[in-house]
Amino acid sequence: MNSAINQLDNTHSNRRERLFPLIWSLLLPIRLYLSSFPVQRGKGILLRHVVTPLLPPPGAEFELRLPGEVRIALRYRETLGLSSLLYGTFELAELEFARSRLRPGDDAMDIGANVGIFSVVMGAAVGRSGRVFAFEPAPGNIVRLKKNLERNGLDHAQLFPCALGEADGQMTLHLATDPAYPSLLEVQSGLADGTSVSVPVRRLDAVWEEAGRPRIGFVKMDVEGAEAAVIRGATGLLGTCHPTMLIEANSAEQLEILRDLLAPFAYQVEQPAGFAPHNFVFYHPQSADSREPV
């Protein structure tokens, strides 16, 4: 009986996936409203009660092409996937900025790599003569990140299944209903799923030293509020390499903390046109890299 029910569920799910292109085209007026109309009122209701129920079932994936002729598998019902469907890609201005900062042979870091959107774009930009160090602690994300790196032949990207912080050890990672939001501190309101897992934590300086102190030119950092701890554990790298950094700061208070932490290294902060409100570029004006940061 259970087998028959499962088979029926699978048939229904497969039919929904096949019909989704048609459903998505019929949703065009709502999609345009969600992606383009400046007034935010009512958008959350439309997403929850109209768009999301029509998406393919949880776990269903689609392939998204990204800048640099790379591709990544995303899930329809997750933040990264749904945002990409609505806007054409995820954080396009930030992805293009990362590409503009990297050349073949460069070394870069993706801290909080999630399933690899930035890792694959950065990996393509540095080429086989360069390296991307991708850090991700969430077990489910690690599996998907590895597959997305393999999908693009990026065997020169090095995956570190750990969190970064100000001391080596173990910490509790609080998981979320959406894999974009696990946190060592506190999951965003309404997104915690009530579970957690113990994960290894490394100081970035320790990883950098073990790798031979490479000249890191660019860092993307998005670790759900734990950015300050990462910076406290990376003073050697920052003082030596002065990498340009794309960092998420979800509040004015968090941005001010990052400013204060990076001020001793002479970092300045900018927010390039087109960036999401929570993303900022920190750069060292006297870096050996002569390319303009913004």
Per residue in 43-67, pLDDT tens? Answer: 677 777 788 888 999 999 999 999 9
From the CB of residue 59, how many other CB atoms can be counted at a distance below 10 Å? 10
Q: What is the pLDDT of residue 291?
A: 46
Banded pLDDT at 288 (limits 50, 70, 90): very low
DSSP string, 132-169: EEEE---HHHHHHHHHHHHHTT-TTEEEE-SEEESSSE
User: From the centroid of its chain, how far is CA 207?
Assistant: 20
Share the mean pLDDT of the chain: 89
- Determine the Cα angle at 190 with ends 228 and 117, to 5°: 55
Contact present, 117 and 92 (Cβ < 8 Å): no
CA-nearest of 91, 89, 52 to 72 is 89
Banded pLDDT at 10 (limits 50, 70, 90): low
Least confident window among 27-36, 72-81, 158-167: 27-36
The three-class DSSP label of residue 124 is helix
Please indicate whether residue 88 or residue 43 has the higher confidence score (pLDDT).
Answer: 88
Contact present, 61 and 20 (Cβ < 8 Å): no
Domains observed in the chain: 2-57 (no CATH), 63-283 (3.40.50.150)
Averaged pLDDT for residues 22-33: 82
Give this prediction's pTM: 0.89
CA-nearest of 229, 223, 227 to 182 is 223
Whole-number percent of the chain with pLDDT over 70: 90
Q: Which residues neighbour 85 within 8 Å (Cβ) at sequence distance 6 or greater?
A: 24, 62, 76
Q: What is the pLDDT of residue 39?
A: 62
